[in-house]
A and B are shown apart, each in its own frame.
Chain A
């Protein structure tokens, strides 16, 4: 087995194992830190699949931004001193049954479809370049790009407005 494939499987294993840890732990803080590992694993898979820009964006946005937000959320919503931040689990049985059933369904679909045997899979595979990606983003998709920027701005202003304390509003009524 060549090196690239081995590294690929290592990143896949990191992703899957840390996601399973999120599933089985009850401590929300441990789940949040395990989510970092999941994101790093997914970013590695992106980079090795030829999507370097998406991998870097994943690291910047998820690990640098969303994770910090989630940890702050844990800190601000569970202010009980000297106690572990645990989340109760309920309907474990039904949830796992539905989840495993969904997984079986997806597995069956993937294996039945047999994507590897399709003709365009074999012929078209080649390395994509970052320049190509930038050109596509700024020409064909430039309107969507701008719209998504405005959406992000509006969402951030709205979030700050909602979470901030305002005078004359009684919160704990």
Chain B
């Protein structure tokens, strides 16, 4: 068994990588990829701590719900990205600035 600390550090690393991807990319799909990484990092932490809770398994149940919501979120986000691309002819988030005052 891997020590808990190493797994938590792995989760932290994944989360930070996802965060940097979200903040530094311009393309909407790349930003979505970063969000998926962050959700996975959260799931790792939930599952790791669920190991010490064998009677109730709340961490695993919550991880399952996180996966489901992530699937729904990706589907809706991609639909919005497609619509935005059809309207503005670009998926570049910096060029979609219609609401800028």
Contacts and interface: CB of A to CB of B under 8 A. Distances in A.
Interface of B: 1-10, 12-21, 23-30, 32-34, 36-37, 40, 43-44, 47-48, 50-54, 56-57, 60-61, 63-65, 67-76, 78-83, 85-87, 89, 91-92, 94
B83 A54 contact: no
Contacts of A9: 2
Q: For chain A, what secondary structure do more than half of its interface residues adopt (helix, strand, loop), or is it mixed?
A: helix
For the complex of A and B, the 5 pairs showing the least CB-CB separation, nearest first, are A155-B72, A87-B27, A95-B24, A106-B12, A163-B79
Interface residues of A, number: 87
Given A51-B47, A106-B15, A159-B76, A32 B57 contact: no
A54 B23 contact: no
B61 A137 contact: yes
Nearest to A35: B33
B52 A121 contact: yes
A50 B7 CA distance: 14
A124 interface: yes
B29 A73 contact: yes
A45 B11 CA distance: 11
B74 A124 contact: no
Nearest to B54: A128
Given A69-B74, A159-B79, A49 B48 contact: yes
Contact of A92 (B24, B71, B80): B24
Contacts of B25: 87-89
B20 A99 contact: yes
27 contacts: A4-B1, A12-B10, A15-B10, A22-B34, A38-B14, A45-B47, A50-B51, A51-B51, A54-B47, A66-B74, A69-B74, A73-B29, A73-B32, A77-B28, A77-B81, A89-B26, A99-B19, A106-B12, A116-B4, A116-B5, A120-B52, A124-B53, A128-B54, A128-B57, A140-B56, A144-B65, A171-B83
B14 A159 contact: no
Contact of B54 (A23, A42, A49, A126): A126
A116 B48 CA distance: 12
A110 B15 CA distance: 14
Contact of A151 (B51, B57, B68, B89): B68
Contacts of A32: 29, 33
A158 B76 CA distance: 7
A171 B1 contact: no
A5 B60 contact: no
Contacts of A19: 13-14, 17-18, 37
